[in-house]
Amino acid sequence: MQEIQIHNSTFESYLTENEIDSSVQKIAVAINSEYQDRHVLFIAVLNGSFMFCSDLLKKITVSCAVSFVKMQSYEGQETTGKVSELIGLSEDLNGVDVVIVEDIVDTGNTLEKLYALLNDKSVNSIKTATLLYKPEAYKKNLPIDFVGIEIPNEFVLGYGLDYDGLGRNLSKIYKLKKH
């Protein structure tokens, strides 16, 4: 499928399954090397990161556990600027080494909110892994430690990422077509 239509928007093919898989592999190799002989708690940010998290964890060889938070900042194709926590973290995180798993880092608002939540819980360390990163949109100073692919400031969809709840099931990544 080269193009798909969702509501009144057209999306064109952007990243192939092979390109996505290589990026996931690259991130896994870096994490496996960084956390050798340590234990990691992966915290995946729902909903968008479910597919990336699943593929990433299959390639992780160090001791690990996974937990999920649900955050929301986008409505349709726009960021609202405000991040709400819809499902939070209940476990004891004191002294834990955390890797945040994001599908995409855009403004960084979600990341900033999550960092604040984790710092309140006295974690030992926080690093971030994201499949996609929009450097032109990023407004924070927090480090993004493991980046799959840097992309321009355009709206993308597929491989977990949605447009109004649709398109998460697509195995490739598409971007909004400009008219």
Q: Which residues bind ligand 5GP (CB under 6 A)?
A: 45, 48, 73-74, 79, 83, 102-110, 155-157, 161-163
Q: C-beta of 126: minimal distance to ligand 5GP in Å? A: 16
> Beta 156-157 vs 173-176: how paired, if at all?
antiparallel
Q: In angstroms, how far apart are the furthest CA atoms of the chain?
A: 51
What is the smallest separation between the CB atom of 64 and ligand 5GP, expressed in angstroms?
21
Residue of 106, 145, 162, 164 marked catalytic: 106
Q: Which is nearer to ligand 5GP, 9 or 32 (CB)?
A: 9
- In the bound state with ligand 5GP, the residue whose beta carbon lies nearer, of 35 and 74, is 74
Taking the C-alpha atoms of 104, 108, 110 and 112 in order, what is their torsion angle to the nearest 10 degrees? 140
Q: How far is the CB of 40 from ligand 5GP (least distance, A)?
A: 20
Q: Among residues 39 and 162, whose Cβ is nearest to ligand 5GP? A: 162
DSSP 62-130: SEEEEEEEEEEEEETTEEEEEEEEEE---S--TT-EEEEEEEEESSSHHHHHHHHHHHHTT-SEEEEEE
- Residue 106 designated active-site: yes
Catalytic residues: 106
